[in-house]
A and B are shown apart, each in its own frame.
Chain A
Amino acid sequence: QLQLQESGPGLLKPSETLSLTCTVFGGSISSTSYYWGWIRQPPGKGLEWIASIYYSGITYYNPSLKSRVNISVDTSKNQFSLKLNSVTAADTAVYYCARQGAISLRTFDYWGQGTLVTVSS
């Protein structure tokens, strides 16, 4: 059974850099069938896709965040990571990592439990 687990600091100050890691258990991040993505959800609000990465390093970014975001993959650790710089209170959200289909079916079929990141001075 595939499992994804997010990890990283839960509290940041404005202007700092958010760094999160997702570890994949029960499957290989090097599968040619999947991308690996980050989605966030501000408290009480909807879902926003942030970015996705293929094991080879191919990336897709949401243009609304692209200038501040970097997604990377470490196949040796079966992990992928998210960095979001210059955070503000608007970046307070639950951050989910998820598996995404790589061919035409680009849905998110496995999700981590999510990690709450709060930006506050």
Chain B
Amino acid sequence: DIVMTQSPDSLAVSLGERATINCKSSQSVLKSSNNKNYLAWYQQKPGQPPTLLIYWASTRESGVPDRFSGSGSGTDFTLTISSLQAEDVAVYYCQHYYSSPYTFGQGTKLEIK
């Protein structure tokens, strides 16, 4: 199984500042056949199901604000929120879909400083 490890486990950022969350996979999730990284990011607000933010490591899902961006390739990935808003308080998860089983990172809790 591919193990997904996120860092940090929790993060406190001031409103308007940048938030950066990292995700590392135990093996590459980049497929050479199409040069795509099989990596997604989800946001989960308290009491709600997760929502898909980003797929292919850097493509925003429809309706996701452009302050959210994803980057990275191979085994190392980053989710960046360029200017933190109050509504961004949530737990963020990375997930690979390279192969079954589809595993998630342990989550990063983002709070307001």
Chain A interface mostly helix, strand, loop or mixed?
Answer: loop
Q: Is the interface of B mostly helix, strand, loop or mixed?
A: loop
Contact with B along A90-111 (1 / 0, CB 8 A): 0000001010010011111101
Please tell me which stretch of B16-24, B48-56, B66-74, B81-89 contacts chain A, meaning at least 4 of its Cβ atoms lie within 8 angstroms of it.
Answer: B48-56
Q: How far is the CB of B88 from chain A (nearest CB, A)?
A: 19
Q: Assess whether B50 is in contact with A47, with CB atoms less than 8 Å apart.
A: yes
A109 touches which one: B38, B52, B100, B106 (CB < 8 A)? B52
Task: Judge if A14 is at the interface, Cβ distance under 8 Å.
Answer: no
* Chain B residues whose CB sits within 8 angstroms of the CB of A107 once the complex forms: 40, 52, 55, 95, 97
Seed contacts A49-B103, A62-B101, A105-B55; 6 additional CB < 8 Å A-B pairs: A46-B105, A96-B50, A101-B97, A104-B38, A108-B50, A113-B49
